[in-house]
Amino acid sequence: MSLSFKHLSVPPFGDTLPAQIFFRTATMPADAAYPQHTHPWGEFVFSYSGAVEVKVGHHQYLAPSQYGLWLPSGTEHQGLNRYEACHCSMYVAERLCEGMPQTPCALTVSPLVRAVLEHLRQHPITLPYTEETSRLLQVLVDQLKVAACDGSYLPASNDPLLRRVLAMLEADPGDRRSMAELARSVHTTERTLMRRCKRDLGMTLAEWRQRLRAIRAMPLLEAGDKVETIALDLGYGSSSAFIAMFRRLMGVTPDEYRKRTRG
């Protein structure tokens, strides 16, 4: 998939971390990107709405708002933004990263972590941090160390056949073709496509397609589109089927998600 970003944001500071644990929030416009960069500290990225997207080498890591992305120190990466979103980054000095994952991954955000992140958004903190603020940030780090790691929420593939199928679905999430029909469109068999999904994605194509549709629904819900319209555009025969899928994956109904992000 070819991405074109009109905006370019520069990382907030150079080679020195302002504090052992440093927290910031930012609002990014649509089609925005940070340049590729690396730093000698870990970084946790969380989006209050929409999805976090980070490119590491040839891998694309993407996570909706019940996850955050962890990037170990020394990881060369690029932050991407397809839609306008408010996100936060927490930078952690390398000596405090012991116990964190050694590879980039999506971490499950617990209700406690979400509550602290929301508190920090509503009550911005500035340097120098108070002892109370430093302790609160340390609690966040401790909670992330025990969070479940989920790889990438919407993994990609370099396999020529599977990559073409995923590209077709990303271009048209409402595509209703069966797996057999999609396999025929790239001149392979359904069994071959199933094997490659299991190998490269770690999930079925049906699950991957549902995750894609949930992520595509987020900016539409935030923009105020009707649930019925979104459901039809994403290939569902009824709004109830779409609502059930969205609630299973996101933990909230579409209307609850809309209210939460507006809040």
Residue 198, domain extent: 160-262
Query: What count of residues does the chain have?
Result: 263
**153 in any annotated domain:** no
Same domain, 130 and 173: no
Same domain, 115 and 17: yes
Q: What is the structure's pLDDT at 68?
A: 94
- Beta partners for residue 75, in sequence order: none
Q: What is the structure's pLDDT at 117?
A: 97
**236 in any annotated domain:** yes
Q: Mark which of 92, 116, 145 sits at the end of a domain.
A: 145
**Residues 43, 12: Cα–Cα separation, whole Å:** 13
DSSP state of 225: -
Same domain, 105 and 225: no
- Beta partners for residue 46, in sequence order: 88
**152 in any annotated domain:** no
Q: What is the structure's pLDDT at 61?
A: 85
**178 in any annotated domain:** yes
**Residues 115, 262: Cα–Cα separation, whole Å:** 16
Same domain, 25 and 119: yes
Same domain, 220 and 141: no
Q: Mark which of 145, 173, 200 sits at the end of a domain.
A: 145
Q: Mark which of 86, 119, 145 sits at the end of a domain.
A: 145
**1 in any annotated domain:** no
Alpha carbon 15 to its chain's center: 26
CATH number of domain containing 80: 2.60.120.280
Order of all β-strands in the sheet with 59-64:
7-8, 32-33, 78-81, 51-56, 59-64
Same domain, 98 and 123: yes
DSSP 107-129: EE--HHHHHHHHHHHHS---SSP
**151 in any annotated domain:** no
Same domain, 121 and 167: no
**Residue 21's CB: how many other CB atoms inside 10 A?**
22
Contact assessment for residue 220 and residue 230, using Cβ atoms and an 8 Å cutoff: yes
Q: What is the structure's pLDDT at 263?
A: 58
Quote the tokens at residue 234. Answer: 């994403």
Structural domain total, the chain: 2
Same domain, 44 and 137: yes
**Residues 256, 94: Cα–Cα separation, whole Å:** 38
Given a cut of 70, the residues of the chain with pLDDT beneath it are: 1-6, 8, 11, 263
**150 in any annotated domain:** no
Quote the tokens at residue 46. Answer: 């969380």
**154 in any annotated domain:** no
Quote the tokens at residue 176. Answer: 């209703």
Q: What is the structure's pLDDT at 50?
A: 76
| Helix, strand, or coil (residue 49) | coil
Question: What is the pTM for the complete model shown?
Answer: 0.79
Q: Which residue type sits at 205?
A: L
Same domain, 141 and 178: no
Same domain, 85 and 201: no
CATH number of domain containing 220: 1.10.10.60
Same domain, 87 and 14: yes
E runs forming strands in 137-232 = none
Same domain, 45 and 125: yes
